[in-house]
Amino acid sequence: MTEHRSPDAHFRTSLPEENDGPGANPTDNRTMGEIIAARFSRRGFLKGSLAVSAIAATVSPLALITADNARAAEGSAFAFDELEAGIDDKHHVAPGYDADVLLRWG
């Protein structure tokens, strides 16, 4: 009987394909899948805890009170009296200042 082999069976690159068998890990090391799963779960935990701490820092009542106190202590950065809000078709500007409308979009 003649054995039929593929024409490229004698090349080195085909040897691993022909000798493919079940993988073995005789050591106590973790598998690659376990390492990847642990990395992604740690990353997810860190992202989640970072998001929670950022939200807690910006929305906490203490942060809001501190921001209000800082704003009140600074005073206004503008040197003119505040204009009353009005609903009309005129462009209101504080006395001593001028303003030009670049685009009137409604």
DSSP 32-81: HHHHHHHHHHHHHHHHHHHHHHHHHHHHSHHHHHHHHHHHHHH--SS-SP
For residue 54, give the amino acid letter: A
- Band (pLDDT 50/70/90 cuts) for residue 101 is confident
Q: What integer pLDDT is reported at residue 64 of this predicted model?
A: 66
Token duo for residue 54: 């950022």
Q: Is 12 helix (H, G, I), strand (E, B) or coil?
A: helix
pLDDT digits (tens, 9 = 90+) for 54-84: 888 777 777 666 666 666 556 666 666 778 8
